């Protein structure tokens, strides 16, 4: 199976928020959007678009921007990316969360699992102070736990910490639950048939 190693990084964000992913060549643009949503822990609450080789692509929604190409049928390999090629992904047109996506490698005959988050750093919207505060709260909960404390008592502190720090294992668990081939995704889409 052909796979692409890509890196998505938020533009103009400090500290930097990025993810390195393995993506199958037959991943549709719609599926890539849902993968990006998952690895950033977003809820698909805003409009988005990819800008690839001078053209915009995305999922058309009623009342939103329309795209002429079907993102459920257009796959990554249609673009014939080489290592070093770049494109952008914009999410939330009000805040203009622009992300640079770079193809780092192309592997022709790979048996590695996809989609898969190889590495990353940071969480969108989280600061170093947020991570420090949540880490201290988690450690305090452990130190102050008595013999009757259970993992259920500590779990909220772990979840709070995971909301502000990169957790590769959690992200890969979320990716493994995505049903990217589901035909149930497409009926929600309304094709407007016009360009931005």
Residue 188 has pLDDT above 60, yes or no: no
Is residue 88 a contact partner of residue 99, using CB atoms and an 8 Å limit? Answer: yes
Place of tokens 């964000």: 13
Tell me: the pLDDT tens digits for 80-108? 999 999 999 999 888 888 999 999 999 99
Name the phi and psi angles at 103, rounded to 5. -80, 115
Better pLDDT: 77 or 196: 77
Better pLDDT: 68 or 164: 68
3-state secondary structure of 159: helix
- Name the DSSP letter for residue 182: -
User: 193: alpha, beta or left, given left = phi > 0 and alpha = psi -120 to 50?
Assistant: left
Q: Please tell me the predicted confidence (pLDDT) of residue 49.
A: 94
Better pLDDT: 14 or 50: 50
Question: Does this model's pTM top 0.85?
Answer: no
Tell me: the pLDDT tens digits for 126-181? 777 888 888 899 999 899 888 888 889 888 888 888 778 888 999 999 999 988 77
Q: β-strands 18-24, 48-52: how paired?
A: unpaired
Residues 19, 5: Cα–Cα separation, whole Å: 10
Is residue 44 a contact partner of residue 34, using CB atoms and an 8 Å limit? Answer: yes
What Rg do the C-alpha atoms of the chain give, in angstroms? 19
Place of tokens 């959690």: 170
Q: What are the helix (H) ranges across 9-150?
A: 29-39, 128-143
Region 103-116: mean pLDDT is 95
């Amino acid at each position: 199976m052909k796979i692409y190693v890509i890196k998505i990084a938020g533009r103009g964000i400090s500290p930097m928020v990025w993810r390195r992913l393995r993506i199958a060549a037959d991943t549709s643009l719609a599926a890539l959007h849902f993968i990006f949503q998952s690895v950033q822990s977003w809820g698909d609450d805003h409009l988005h678009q990819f800008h690839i080789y001078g053209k915009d692509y995305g999922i058309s929604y009623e009342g939103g921007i329309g795209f002429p190409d079907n993102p459920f049928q257009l796959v990554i390999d249609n673009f014939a990316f080489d290592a070093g090629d770049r494109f952008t992904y914009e999410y939330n047109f009000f805040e203009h969360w622009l992300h640079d996506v770079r193809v780092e490698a192309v592997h022709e005959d790979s048996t590695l699992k996809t989609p898969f988050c190889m590495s990353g750093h940071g969480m969108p919207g989280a600061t170093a102070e947020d991570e420090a505060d949540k880490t201290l709260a988690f450690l305090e909960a452990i130190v102050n736990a008595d013999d009757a404390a259970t993992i259920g008592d500590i779990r909220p502190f772990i979840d709070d910490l995971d909301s502000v720090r990169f957790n590769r294992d959690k992200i890969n668990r979320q990716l493994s639950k995505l049903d990217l081939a589901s035909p149930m995704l497409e009926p929600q889409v309304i094709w407007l048939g016009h360009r931005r």
